[in-house]
Structure 1
Amino acid sequence: MGPWEKIVGANVRRLRTERGLTQEQLAFEAGIAMRYIGMIERAETSATVGMLGKLAAVLGVEPGALLSATESPA
């Protein structure tokens, strides 16, 4: 996969862990399969725009934050 998948995967993992969520919890709240969360975090698949929206909503960020190559302030 390319650099965008790696950026999204790193951001999802970082935000998920900052919020104290497991992959299972994030998947349940977003209404998607836990396996898919792992694949996104490992940059093994590309998340759709709809998926980015669901993940962002659960993580409490704007969807664009998942595409940001820079760390957001804590």
Structure 2
Amino acid sequence: MSSLVEHFGIAVRQLREQRGWSQEHLAALSDLNRSYVGEIERGRVIVSIVTVQKLAVALQLEPASLLARGEQVASVRRAHRDALAAIGG
């Protein structure tokens, strides 16, 4: 799966965990199946824009902010990878 999908899933998991919520709780708030939320968090599914909207509403964010969070995860991971490469190279 693409890194964009993976980073979006990581962002959803981080936001859920910051709130102290279980996957079940987020699923209930977003009207999604718990196992589907797990698949999203593991980066195994490509979500629709409707699902992004449902998750954003549940997390009390704008959809664009939720998507931007995925980009932030990607940026941090790139910086970390580059720093490790600099140390090892």
Q: Going by fraction, where is helix more abundant, 1 or 2? A: 2
Unaligned runs of 5+ in 1: none
Match in the other structure for 1:19: 19
- Kindly report which structure 2 residues correspond to 1:1-74, keeping only aligned pairs within 5 A, or say none: 1-68=1-68, 69-70=71-72
Deviations 1:34-59 (A, max 9, x none): 00000000000011100000000010
TM-score, structure 1 length as denominator? Answer: 0.89
Give the partner amino acid of 1:50.
Answer: V
Percent identity of paired positions between Structure 1 and Structure 2: 35
Find the residue that maps to 2:39 and give its secondary structure. helix
Q: How many residues align?
A: 71
Runs ≥4 in structure 1, deviation > 6 angstroms? none
Q: Which has the larger radius of gyration?
A: 2
Q: Distance in 2 between matches of 1:13 and 1:64?
A: 17
- Letter of the aligned partner of 1:13 in structure 2? R
Q: Aligned equivalents of 2:46 and 2:63: distance in 1?
A: 14
